[in-house]
Amino acid sequence: METPLVRWTSALEGAAALDGVVRALEPAVETVFASGARGRLLRGEWLGHAVHPTLTDLVLGSWTSATVLDLIGGPDSRRAAQRLLGVSLLAVGPTAWTGWAEWAASGEGDKRVGLVHAATNAVAIGVYASSWLARRRGDHATGARRAFVGAGVATLGGYLGGHLAVARKVGTHDPAYDVT
């Protein structure tokens, strides 16, 4: 039985309304992230495995750890939570670059899902950046609330990224890993 989330994701794959944005982005993404030696590096061809999923672990792990500290760490963990958010914000650039390199090599439906994945993650990054800024100003409570919102948004982005990586098998890999 198909769940509502699966139906929504399948509809997203077929959402031709996104094609205009996809077509508008493709030339820039190809030029900046996906062509030549830079594209091969960002896709992880040198490794035989996509780099993007590994980098997402750093970002998502930092976000999750900061949220756990907000929930159970107490006042002594506030600085550590802010530092974790800082680490994540430093890592989001390279993480996104590797994602765009993979996106450029994906199929039409996958590019539609990837576009929404990227947009959702951009919102999450903005929310987490505002959380970090609030904490920097000394307003930990606002920062923690914003991080909880960011966690919700990032969960949707993570779901779409997981769908692309697992269900759709988007990502660089060495042919030796192909199972017949």
Asked whether residue 41 is domain-assigned, the answer is: yes
Q: How confident is the model at residue 177, as a pLDDT?
A: 87
Asked whether residue 7 is domain-assigned, the answer is: no
Q: How confident is the model at residue 125, as a pLDDT?
A: 98
Task: Give the span between the Cα atoms of 62 and 24, in whole angstroms.
Answer: 32
Query: How many folded domains does the chain comprise?
Result: 1
Asked whether residue 8 is domain-assigned, the answer is: no
Asked whether residue 73 is domain-assigned, the answer is: yes
In sign, the C-alpha dihedral spanning 39, 40, 41, 43 is: positive
Query: Tokens 């190809």, residue?
Result: 30
Asked whether residue 161 is domain-assigned, the answer is: yes
Q: What is the DSSP string of 74-114?
A: -GGGHHHHHHHHHHHHHHHHHHHHHHHHHHHTS-HHHHHHH
Task: Give the span between the Cα atoms of 45 and 67, in whole angstroms.
Answer: 34
Q: What is residue 49's three-state secondary structure?
A: strand
Asked whether residue 178 is domain-assigned, the answer is: no
Asked whether residue 141 is domain-assigned, the answer is: yes
Task: Give the span between the Cα atoms of 26 and 20, in whole angstroms.
Answer: 10
Q: How confident is the model at residue 180, as a pLDDT?
A: 64
Its domain, for residue 23, covers 17-170
Task: Give the span between the Cα atoms of 179 and 98, in whole angstroms.
Answer: 25
Mean pLDDT in each 10-residue stretch from start to end of the chain (180 residues)? 93 98 98 97 95 96 97 96 98 98 97 98 98 98 98 97 95 85
pTM to 2 decimal places:
0.94
Asked whether residue 90 is domain-assigned, the answer is: yes
Q: How confident is the model at residue 120, as a pLDDT?
A: 98
Q: How many residues does the chain have?
A: 180
